[in-house]
Structure 1
């Protein structure tokens, strides 16, 4: 479906009609002439793609960024064929060097294969290219701090979209705290095939915030200049409504069920999210964990009669140790190596949230030398956040079999450690293949001008 849509895009398309006054107003932009966004990680693809998925991320005042989890979801929810027709473009938009270095390191390590395949590119824009953030216009009783935040976010997305103008036929906006429905690229491509000749400015695959808004890339330059002209007036999702209206799309065109869901409770544009569940979002249910036969090894000392195997059991038992030092580990050694596609590690008391592994990581081990009690090659799967890791294995399509799953303590714990569950999901077939999803059968529109089935 994706390849078919790409071929059609190259042979036939209908341009939207821009207002002459708006084109004149935007014809020259001195700011964009001086923009010099630079690549931090990766390289752009050699050929034009169908879709660029653009994410702008910065440090969040309310807590740590979900960017790594969002990238995990993006790649695990798309098949190898879908990834060949898309590129993920991430803008790191926070000037703090410590945060920037940490994100560069984590992305380079966790998503190395996608960087090497030119499917993931990370950029940044120097702070001196931004418009003034002092003395900004205040509307709607907003606090000065919020006005600065939304104004900078408008410029973040403007610079991100400006960089993405020539690399694909379509551009999809994404915030950095999003979970994706499986096969979302194919589902978007199928909708594009039906809407190819229709007059639209944006199609929406998520209602909240600035996530899931699809543009034709030929319209991006207009919206970029619109954002920069009115960057201090209101958030970019509100500016998008006015931009659509100028280009004669009076109502939002939304498709259900939504393909994206916010993971956090708070929108970066202010206010809380009401989490969409049920038919509003297509969840990827992987069923119950498999936990195949395995042996566990550790250098941690069991406490109060605790049994090491409890950490791997599927009941409510757990493993407890009074002391854990940096470098300590708990390793699951599978009796028969298997294709693992999801790993979940739960630490700490479920009720009191105590004895969590606050600083730790999970690694996958492979073995080419038939070691008895260990593996000879480990790769980082992810970091524990609030004592928990729940990740899809991004390289599952390769069919490479995992022999070891290792939980590593990276800093001393102030108190004891509880490991409630190490859960594994495995593929029973020799090679992982993603089942095609049904094409969306129902399109619900919030438009009085267009009706489509």
Structure 2
């Protein structure tokens, strides 16, 4: 090839490459522009779709709201239920079952609440009930109402307890002074899978949480029944005339208090205004799984601006339980400030005391005649045995009270016997020649007021006569006239 032709060919190739390059660039720009326009168009479509969706949703909500307003207008007026603060302070609508007795038609001065679970080792409930009624006067019993909340999860166990209570204390049920209730476990909040605060075991957490709910259900029930509410446990004994002692302690006391206690142990002897009970019930339920109930009771009075609990001494209630209801753990907590005599009482007129019962150790008959903290304690109690008080001079009896049993031995009462007034003292026989029957013992206690004028005038002797044998020993705690 000639040099000129080579030069021409080279120039042509270079020109062709330039043209090809520009053609490729134009093509790429065109394609990019085309896809860019498509993307913009797609974005516009997507934006339109989103706008339509929002408009549809807004329209739907507006339609539903309009329909709701229409339905609201169509509702009967009685279905409209505005919020009321009063409802928050009323008793909770907890379902209860009456196992024994019914609420009295008239409010009492004091309702006493006991939540009870049957213990495996030893049960104390019957002795506690006996102490409450047995150590109260007839006038005091008319002012009180005892509510037993059976918190056993087995209905058969509750039924057994009800039968026992009915057999021993039917007279108090008929008098409207004793009610036994329970509630369904379906009404309880969860009791498993709870927080294990204070490194408590799962069983311990369940036990104390259920106990808090038990107490909440009990105080809620008692809210409308009385002016004041007293919390007790099911293993205590009471001081003589404890209700009168409570009333005396409230005289001239400012009513702004939240909690007054008549014992330094646990739940025992806590007194509340009945109007505070719905709040206490809600408080216990709100924190039922957080901590033990006696701690919650401390927080409750603090939350109502009472920084320290008010304690009344001497204590009116003593703990007698040896085994707790939780895993039958042995405990021997005692209140060393407990006094069996809550109020001062007059001693007997000068007299001598005699018995044909076998005397136990130093618990001689003279203890009854001298008064004080000691008492008579006899054994081998059989029909025909007796205890006689021979006065130095004739007395005019207008009222008489005789108590048997003691806090440490509540079963050592006179189960079958009666009281006699005697005249014509016989110094040789240490007795009287003539006796008149006055009345029988009931649940280990005798009380008569007022005494008929002709019956109580010029009495020389008082005789306690045993009419049936009993396996228990007999304690005569005091005779007051």
TM-score between the two structures when normalised by the length of structure 2: 0.59
User: CA separation in 1, counterparts of 2:464 and 2:167?
Assistant: 18
Determine the structure 1 residue equivalent to 2:78.
none
Does structure 2 conserve the Cα–Cα contact (< 8 Å) formed by 1:364 and 1:402? no
Does structure 2 conserve the Cα–Cα contact (< 8 Å) formed by 1:291 and 1:423? no
Determine the structure 2 residue equivalent to 1:58.
117
Where do residues 21-420 of structure 1 align in structure 2 (5 Å cutoff)?
A: 27=88, 32-33=92-93, 35-61=94-120, 63-197=121-255, 199-265=256-322, 272-277=331-336, 280-284=337-341, 312-314=357-359, 331-334=382-385, 341-342=403-404, 363-364=415-416, 393-394=444-445, 396-397=447-448, 403-407=465-469
Change beyond 3 A, Cα 1:423–1:94: same
Aligned with 1:176: secondary structure?
coil
Name the Cα RMSD after superposition.
4.1
Determine the structure 1 residue equivalent to 2:28.
none
User: CA separation in 1, counterparts of 2:476 and 2:384?
Assistant: 14
User: CA separation in 1, counterparts of 2:331 and 2:313?
Assistant: 22
> How many pairs does the alignment contain?
331
Provide structure 1 residue ranges, at least 5 long, that are not aligned to the other structure: 1-22, 295-311, 317-328, 345-360, 368-377, 382-392, 410-420, 434-453
What do residues 137-192 of structure 1 show as CA deviations (whole Å, max 9, x unaligned)? 11111111111111111111111111101110110100011111112111111222
Change beyond 3 A, Cα 1:363–1:247: closer
Change beyond 3 A, Cα 1:97–1:207: same
User: CA separation in 2, counterparts of 1:250 and 1:343?
Assistant: 39
Aligned with 1:88: secondary structure?
strand
Q: Which one has the largest radius of gyration?
A: 2
What do residues 358-409 of structure 1 show as CA deviations (whole Å, max 9, x unaligned)? xxx9852579xxxxxxxxxx9995xxxxxxxxxxx14544899975453468
User: CA separation in 2, counterparts of 1:166 and 1:181?
Assistant: 26
Provide structure 2 residue ranges, at least 5 long, that are not aligned to the other structure: 1-83, 362-379, 390-400, 407-412, 420-439, 452-461
Change beyond 3 A, Cα 1:335–1:235: closer
User: CA separation in 1, counterparts of 2:442 and 2:139?
Assistant: 25
How far did residue 46 of structure 1 move?
2.2
User: CA separation in 1, counterparts of 2:161 and 2:442?
Assistant: 15
Determine the structure 2 residue equivalent to 1:306.
none
Does structure 1 conserve the Cα–Cα contact (< 8 Å) formed by 2:381 and 2:473? no
User: CA separation in 2, counterparts of 1:291 and 1:333?
Assistant: 17
